[in-house]
Structure 1
């Protein structure tokens, strides 16, 4: 029967990267309910009003982008896959993006009043720069080519999230909001795998294009990145000018924009490297997380196995041998 429905067979793997990623993501599974966020309340009460607003808006923005990724991003990528196993991996990513979005609400519930939470979510709908990047990414998800959709996904997860990630990593480096930061580090570990995997799938398709098609796609890719970065500059000034962190955050953003390009197999655009990033934040960006005592603080130690996020080189072999 030519139209017979095909069952997914995990004993016959077309691309070993699909299997490796599935195993990595399932080993890394976590839920926000296991992190004792209330232990951060003493830190929270000592922080200034400007810091409270920054944290609320940062996590509000991340909630919006994770919502976009879970509701629209992965479903758009699933319309063009190479293998059934790739669909399974994207299903996993889609679910974890929902976990990420919910995690921020757990933070709000712990740290903020009901009135403050209402203000945060109203702000996410009203802020022009946050809405700009969400709408730009969403437009590609709805109207872009399959490879453009992968670019948008990698730019979102490896670049645009990081203006928000800076704040909890900065506080972690100053021994504040440690349990909030634990959630962020778990999210960072997931995003590292997501960006690397989708970037790898992009590279497979990109390498199959004719030279003129590659050139045209690269022109679009870099133009899109610059458009997003220009908006991100404005967004960062809005968030961080009140606390004086703007220039340091912009360096961090440019560094991660380069990482996004590397995930896509493209050359870095900005001069910023790891040595230029605030070392306190750079130390926090390590995707290993704390192992807390089960009866006091529960970090990722409750997981069945200790795993690290995938690095770029974990997938490089796949470009030469995908079978």
Structure 2
């Protein structure tokens, strides 16, 4: 098995067929005909992604502006630290999605990754938007500094940072597969203790505007995770020499390590939040890991967590199993547009 450095896909090569001969390392003209692609059902994925269009500043934050000072100090600190965490994941994810697309020789993958990158950029903007609604500029800056100086967060992000940077320096097929594994973890597990905190607040009718924003981000991430796991499976099927015990063991080991790091982070950031069940959160992290492994075509590693232990969270997040709720039927969490920035005219 040769670990060859891949070249970036050419923009236009008319000598090659329009339908790609391979996702990475194949050939195609660069011309995209959605009616003639190697994986036809990916057009439906593309349509689902573009159908999720939304903008951060159309969500009404006026009640959150009033509510934030009423949160306990522990809730305020968790709010700011978790926004810092999410921004350290979504910012790099915009770039990573674009980098993956540069090496994809299937133009349908290029287009889908472009949509994912755009949505990750919107997510990152939304964190700036919610913070600008509720805290001063100095507090906003402090929140975004957590990704650079909080030791627990730095430890938690170290392995994903190493893999993403490895891919930049050595764009081999193996590093693409490993980056897809970490992207699966990011889209399907790393965000979820943060999401759960905001949903926990919403259960007590606190910071509902923020949790509505998080629900939109969550919905996007579920679709991203769905596509990335399919991309992983298809790439592995096209390159069966990587479907070996060494690589699959690597996947399982890094899932286990990531679960441990996510659990450590959740205990650190949520330990003082009133009413938050950390044992339940740990089970939910393992449940999410199992779910993503199944979607990747692999086996579960936590047999005691095949069912969601945080069933209450379904009221806030779309269901990835295909029984999606109508997002706009959640009347207490409606997508309410504002005419002025952050709804300050409602104060």
TM-score clears 0.5: yes
Alignment match, 1:234 = 264
Alignment match, 1:143 = 166
Alignment length (residue pairs)? 298
Distance in 2 separating the partners of 1:195 and 1:118: 29
Are 1:274 and 2:307 counterparts? yes
The equivalent position to 1:264 in structure 2, one of 296, 300, 312, is 296
Q: Deviations over 1:84-106 (max 9, x none)?
A: 01100000000100100110111
CA contact (8 A) 2:60 2:337 kept: no
Distance in 1 separating the partners of 2:239 and 2:35: 30
The equivalent position to 1:74 in structure 2, one of 75, 81, 97, is 97
Greater RCO structure (CA 8 Å; 6+ sep): 1
How far apart are 1:43 and its partner, in Å? Answer: 2.8
CA contact (8 A) 1:76 1:149 kept: no
Alignment match, 1:299 = 335
Distance in 1 separating the partners of 2:307 and 2:336: 26
Alignment match, 1:185 = 215
Change (3 A) 1:301 1:269: farther
CA contact (8 A) 2:208 2:333 kept: no
Q: How does 1:26-37 map to 2 (within 5 A)?
A: 26-37=50-61
Alignment match, 2:119 = 96
Distance in 1 separating the partners of 2:290 and 2:243: 22
How far apart are 1:143 and its partner, in Å? Answer: 2.6
- Two-structure CA RMSD over aligned residues (Å): 2.6
Q: Which runs of 5 or more residues in structure 2 are unaligned?
A: 1-13, 17-27, 168-173, 320-324, 339-347
Alignment match, 1:55 = 79
More helix by percentage? 1
Are 1:111 and 2:134 counterparts? yes
CA contact (8 A) 2:233 2:297 kept: yes
In the TM superposition, structure 1's runs of 4+ consecutive aligned residues that sit over 6 Å from their partners are: none
Alignment match, 2:185 = 155
Q: Deviations over 1:104-156 (max 9, x none)?
A: 11110111122221221222211223223433223223435221111111011
Distance in 1 separating the partners of 2:63 and 2:132: 13
Distance in 1 separating the partners of 2:34 and 2:236: 26
The equivalent position to 2:199 in structure 1, one of 169, 191, 195, is 169
The equivalent position to 1:124 in structure 2, one of 144, 147, 154, is 147
Q: Deviations over 1:30-63 (max 9, x none)?
A: 1111100122233323211111111111111001
Give SS of 1:276's match: coil
Q: TM-score, normalised by structure 2?
A: 0.78
Alignment match, 1:225 = 255
